[in-house]
């Protein structure tokens, strides 16, 4: 059976869920990965009110769509980031009176993350995707010289703050899937190994695999899938394109997404450097049967055109695995 193709709604939170669901169905999607901002999914309300959670699922069902996961990316970023600053003010979506107050914003975020597994159970899903934040991402370049102890402290802080959250996930039988991503506690293979070690490789914590964040770092996405075969809990379909011209770099020169001077940028799936066929083969080999969730980001393309094209593209590389050897017919 082909894997379901879903659309992550984070980049569509300006649209009411009902309107987006109608569009997604018309484009050919099987379901939505719900963002916890806009009106798409209120995690705290869903944890307290099962009828609300069932109602959000019913909106999708009316359009012939399903849901396998929802996202706490924005709230998760507040848990470990140090310091919280004006960048966090811009993505904060908790009580308005808390905006700009670091302690109150972090407390809201932790409350959200703690509520997520119960909300997941009420929605009828077993996977929550998101970010963790990181107190040590800014130390990626070791100058001024840094001590090993400073990095050790960052992973300990991650474990101290996320283990109580993961306890809740375990209690409800729900998995948290970190999107391995720059600015998180894990952003490549080595840091992913270290993050897993920091929490004792507990099974509640896995990966939302997104190749677009690996390819521009020169990390092999298919190899990453094989390395973390037991931790691929969810998959994003997203692409990135290198634009190195001899004057820029992968560090992006402080230019924002969409600026042609950047050394790389996100593009619609199939228009960048990600080789999706090796990824599909790797996912087949590890037995991943969950959704392929299109996270659509491309500053140079109309998003409705891109979303419709992306679901068609995703189905072209999602071929089924074989359960026989190709040369079995030669044998008597």
- Render pLDDT for 51-65 as a digit per residue (tens, 0 to 9): 999 999 999 999 999
- Backbone φ, ψ for residue 166 (5° rounding): -70, -30
Q: Is residue 250 part of a domain?
A: yes
For each of the chain's 332 residues, which pLDDT tens digit applies? 689 999 999 999 999 999 999 999 999 999 999 999 999 999 999 999 999 999 999 999 999 999 999 999 999 999 999 999 999 999 999 999 999 999 999 999 999 999 999 999 999 999 999 999 999 999 999 999 999 999 999 999 999 999 999 999 999 999 999 999 999 999 999 999 999 999 999 999 999 999 999 999 999 999 999 999 999 999 999 999 999 999 999 999 999 999 999 999 999 999 999 999 999 999 999 999 999 999 999 999 999 999 999 999 999 999 887 776 666 667 76
Q: Is residue 91 part of a domain?
A: yes
Residue burial 195-224, b: 16+ Cβ < 10 Å; e: rest: bbebbeebebbbbbbbbbbbbbeebbbbeb
Q: Is residue 104 part of a domain?
A: yes
> What pLDDT is recorded for position 322?
75
> What pLDDT is recorded for position 205?
98
> What pLDDT is recorded for position 329?
64
Can you tell me whether residue 233 is helix, strand or coil? strand
Q: Is residue 331 part of a domain?
A: no
Residue 47 to residues 120, 140, 169: CA-CA distances in angstroms? 8, 37, 13
Give residues with Cβ within 8 angstroms of 133, minimum separation 6: 76, 77, 78, 79, 80, 81, 183, 184, 185
> What pLDDT is recorded for position 325?
67
> What pLDDT is recorded for position 332?
62
CATH of the domain at 297: 3.20.20.150
Give residues with Cβ within 8 angstroms of 320, minimum separation 6: 1, 2, 284
Q: Is the pTM of this model over 0.85?
A: yes
For the chain, what is the largest distance between any 2 Cα atoms, rounded to a whole number of angstroms? 75
> What pLDDT is recorded for position 314?
98
Q: Is residue 264 part of a domain?
A: yes
Domain housing 281: 5-321
> What pLDDT is recorded for position 321?
79
Q: Is residue 171 part of a domain?
A: yes
Q: Is residue 36 part of a domain?
A: yes
Split into its structural domains, the chain has a count of 1
Q: Is residue 328 part of a domain?
A: no
> What pLDDT is recorded for position 46?
98
């Amino acid at each position: 059976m082909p894997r379901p193709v879903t659309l992550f709604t984070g980049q569509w939170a300006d649209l009411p869920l009902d309107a987006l669901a109608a569009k997604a169905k018309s484009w050919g999607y099987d379901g939505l990965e719900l963002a916890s901002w806009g009106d798409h999914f209120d995690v705290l309300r869903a944890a307290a009110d099962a009828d609300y959670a069932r109602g959000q699922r019913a909106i999708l069902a009316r359009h012939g769509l399903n849901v396998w996961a929802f996202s706490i990316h924005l709230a998760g970023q507040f848990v470990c980031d140090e310091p919280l600053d004006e960048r966090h003010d811009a993505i904060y979506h908790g009580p308005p009176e808390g905006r700009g107050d670091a302690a109150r914003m972090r407390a809201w975020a932790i409350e959200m993350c703690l509520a997520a597994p119960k909300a997941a159970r009420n929605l009828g899903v077993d996977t929550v995707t998101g970010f963790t934040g990181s107190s040590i991402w800014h130390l990626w370049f070791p100058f001024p010289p840094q001590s090993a102890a400073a990095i050790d402290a960052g992973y300990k802080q991650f474990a101290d703050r996320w283990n109580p959250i993961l306890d809740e996930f375990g209690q409800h039988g729900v998995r948290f899937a970190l999107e391995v991503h720059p600015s998180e506690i894990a952003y490549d293979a080595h840091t992913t190994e270290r993050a897993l070690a920091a929490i004792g490789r507990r099974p509640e914590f896995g990966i939302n695999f997104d190749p677009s964040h690996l390819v521009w770092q020169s990390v092999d996405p298919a190899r990453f899938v094989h390395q973390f075969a037991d931790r691929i809990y969810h998959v994003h379909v997203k692409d990135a394109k290198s634009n190195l011209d001899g004057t820029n770099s992968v560090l992006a020169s402080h230019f924002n997404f969409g600026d042609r001077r950047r050394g790389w940028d996100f593009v619609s799936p199939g228009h960048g450097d990600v080789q999706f066929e090796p990824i599909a083969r790797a996912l087949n080999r590890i037995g991943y049967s969950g959704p392929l969730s299109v996270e659509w980001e491309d500053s140079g393309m109309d998003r409705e055109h891109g979303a419709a094209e992306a679901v068609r593209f995703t189905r072209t590389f999602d071929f089924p695995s074989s359960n026989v050897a190709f040369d079995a017919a030669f044998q008597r």
